[in-house]
Amino acid sequence: MDYETHYTFKVILLGSPAVGKSNLLNRMIHNKFDENIKSTIGIDFGTKVIKIGDKTIKAQIWDTAGQENYKSIARAYYKGAVGALLVYDITDAKTFQSLQDIWLPRLRNEHPEGDSDIRIMLIGNKSDLTAKRAVAKEDAQAFADQNKFIFLETSALDASNVDNTFNTVSSEIYKVVCERELERVTAAGRGAASSTPPAASERGARKEAVNINSTSAAAVVSASIERSETAN
């Protein structure tokens, strides 16, 4: 099926081994769950296309291995990411703590632009196992609020909130792209109209800001992806 892609986003899954990242990816891309799925060796990824308004979004979702010995391999894939899903297992408190001690600090250290240029979501996976819960929702929500993350609980097994997670992170990234393009166009409009009366300059900037060029906005994200692929 042919379609025009307006934006390409790179989203990475981060978290300890066995939290369900591979099955989350499998559910997002293929709407399938595999009880016998093997842990990711190095890097795996899938692509999914959605519509946001009248725009077509292609998301490249990268599943990074949770093992420490793959740390150097995964490092290159932080670059160019505009979205990150921090995943823990609600039945294993250690996986929640590892997000705070290992994965979030590593993301902030490896991602050159910092939190301002990447949308991060906190994902409590395996919500179908509430009887075995070891991480309270309130604790996870408090951690998310402290870091200004969106928090959701999901189940790759029964598909609960999986589509919602994907759509939410894509929408949040889209907002950032539009905001950055709005800032760029507004600044350009003010500079070009510097010799005109202030009122006219502001009106012109507002008019230009409304007519955001989607191709230019897409380049903001695409360029970061290309830089990442070149670095690899």
For 198-221, how does the pLDDT look when each residue is reduced to its tens digit (9 = 90+)? Answer: 454 444 443 333 333 333 334 334
What confidence score (pLDDT) does residue 229 get?
A: 40
Domains of the chain: 7-173 (3.40.50.300), 180-222 (no CATH)
- Give the model confidence (pLDDT) of 174-196 as tens digits: 988 887 776 676 766 666 555 44
pLDDT band at 227 (very low <50, low <70, confident <90, very high): very low
- Tens of pLDDT, residue by residue over 89-109, are 999 999 999 999 999 998 888
Contact 129, 90 (CB under 8 A): yes
Structure tokens at 88: 């823990």
Instruction: Give the model's confidence band at 12: pLDDT under 50 very low, under 70 low, under 90 confident, else very high.
Output: very high
Give Cβ neighbours of residue 49 (< 8 Å, ≥ 6 apart): 3, 5, 56, 57, 58, 59
First-to-last C-alpha distance (Å) of the chain: 29
